[in-house]
Amino acid sequence: MHPTGHIEVLEVTEPGSDVLTADAFRAAFRSHPAGVAVVTADPGGDPIAMTVSSLTSISASPPLMAFSASAQSSSTAALRRATSVVVHLLNAEQLWLAQLGATTGVDRFQDPTKWRRLPTGEPVFPDGGTWIRGEVVHRVEAGNAVIHVVKAIETNSSAESSSDASGVGPLVYHNRSWHVLSDASMI
Amino acid sequence: MHPTGHIEVLEVTEPGSDVLTADAFRAAFRSHPAGVAVVTADPGGDPIAMTVSSLTSISASPPLMAFSASAQSSSTAALRRATSVVVHLLNAEQLWLAQLGATTGVDRFQDPTKWRRLPTGEPVFPDGGTWIRGEVVHRVEAGNAVIHVVKAIETNSSAESSSDASGVGPLVYHNRSWHVLSDASMI
């Protein structure tokens, strides 16, 4: 096993006439909605919080998830050093948190009533949603982003609770808009 | 750069008391919705089509996307050998395709009116939605799944067209149900 923090660098040829342009790629992906997560960590120094629409479950046994973060993000340097993270799976009442983690130049930890630290040190925004704490077991530097693979250690959810049980639907990001799922959106 | 088809094996310790159980992990991820894609390929022999809820955009320049597929899936062995794939980003009118690609034991290519081959050989289901053809540039075997990183080569979408432009909202999978996004789900 790679030591935690190992980064594998995936070399991909520079964009050329043989691949989609960035504009065409983004346009195609506007057809593709995603759940919304906020990733927090504190590798020493200041805590970070970053909104991502790339979180996905990889494997249930062992419990692995992955997300990617742009190399441009101000939080990425700290995130690369983190051995553990907390991912928050956002519901519609946590739109403020999604927006907070996506806004540049703000102190995302300014309001001490909104977050606390877990006994293990990571910052957590406990306001109503599901979160999962995990250990970063692998990173792949791919193009302009870093894919982080995380082994899930603990969660505040139980088999009985979910965003549905709370009556608040999950948040979805699509084509630069926010949506909420409900019985009305079911087909 | 790794030769196409290289698989990196990520060794993760077996599940134990220090990680979430599979049930707890699945329960937590029930809070997390996802867009729906069908991945097709034909590495020689029979074509495959597989529904995934793990497709995500990684980087726009170079244009990279990733998805994971369970090692248990009947299509995974063929998918491991594929050098190129087509990902279909599904809208609500393509629920039949999502269900086709998720049903075991059926011939997903039985109806010749539903699909064709691209000049490059990959099967495509052209029925109304956006697709992207790409080259598999990296694989990570992680737990019980394989993460595939794909460089985008071509698409049937244009900067103007999208599932929204077609008037059909995108398909979302959440907590074992299908949803469609629309103006009514926007917040």
Q: What is the pLDDT of residues A54-69, one digit of tens each?
A: 999 999 999 999 999 9
- Judge whether residue A26 has pLDDT over 80: yes
Residue A9, burial from CB neighbour count under 10 angstroms (0-12, 13-18, 19+) = exposed
Helix (H, G, I), strand (E, B) or coil at B41: strand
- Residue B103: the pLDDT is 92
Exposed/middle/buried for residue B97 (C-beta within 10 Å: 0-12, 13-18, 19+): buried
pLDDT bracket for residue B7 (50, 70, 90): low
pLDDT of A84 higher than 50: yes
Q: What is the pLDDT of residue B127?
A: 82
Q: Are A60 and B26 a contacting pair at CB < 8 A? A: yes
d(CA B168, CA A125): 35
Radius of gyration for the alpha carbons in chain A, expressed in angstroms and rounded: 17
Global ipTM: 0.91
Taking contacts as CB-CB distances below 8 angstroms, the residues of chain A near B96 are none
**pLDDT tens sequence across B107-163:** 999 999 999 999 999 999 988 899 999 999 999 999 989 999 999 999 998 754 544
* Segment B8-34 mean pLDDT: 84
CA distance A5 to A24: 33
**Interior angle at CA A13, CA A9 and CA A14, nearest 5:** 110
Mean pLDDT over B160-176 rounds to 76
Average pLDDT, chain B: 89
Taking chain A, what is the end-to-end CA distance rounded to the nearest angstrom? 43
Closest Cα to residue A174, out of B30, B183, B59, B68? B183
**In the 8-state DSSP scheme, what is residue B102?**
H
The per-residue pLDDT for A127 is 82
User: B136 CA to chain A: closest CA distance, Å?
Assistant: 11
A120 touches chain B (CB under 8 A): no
Chain A residues with CB under 8 Å of B14 CB are 62
Closest by CA to B16, choosing from A63, A56, A148, is A63
pLDDT at position B3: 44
pLDDT computed for residue A73 by the predictor: 82
The span from the CA of B11 to the CA of B135, in Å, is 25
Query: What does the pLDDT average to over A41-49?
Result: 92
State how far the Cα of A166 lies from the Cα of B14, in Å rounded to an integer. Answer: 33
Residue A183: φ, ψ to 5° = -60, -30
The residues in A 47-106 lying below 8 A from B, measured between CB atoms, are 53-66, 68, 70, 89, 91-92, 95
* pLDDT at site B157: 85
A158 interaction partners in chain B (CB closer than 8 Å): 24, 27
pLDDT value at residue A1:
39
B120 C-beta neighbours (distance < 10 Å), count: 11
Mean pLDDT of the region B45-63: 94
Q: What is the pLDDT of residue A163?
A: 46
Contact A145 B10 (CB under 8 A): no
Alpha helices in B12-144 (DSSP H): 22-29, 76-81, 95-102
Burial label, B74 (beta-carbon count in 10 A; 0-12, 13-18, 19+): exposed
If you count residue pairs, one on A and one on B, with CB atoms under 8 Å apart, how many are there?
295
Q: Kindly report the pTM of this predicted structure.
A: 0.91
The secondary element (H helix, E strand) that includes residue B115 is: none
What number is the average pLDDT over the span A144-173?
Answer: 82
Q: How far does B79 lie from chain A, in Å, by closest CA?
A: 16
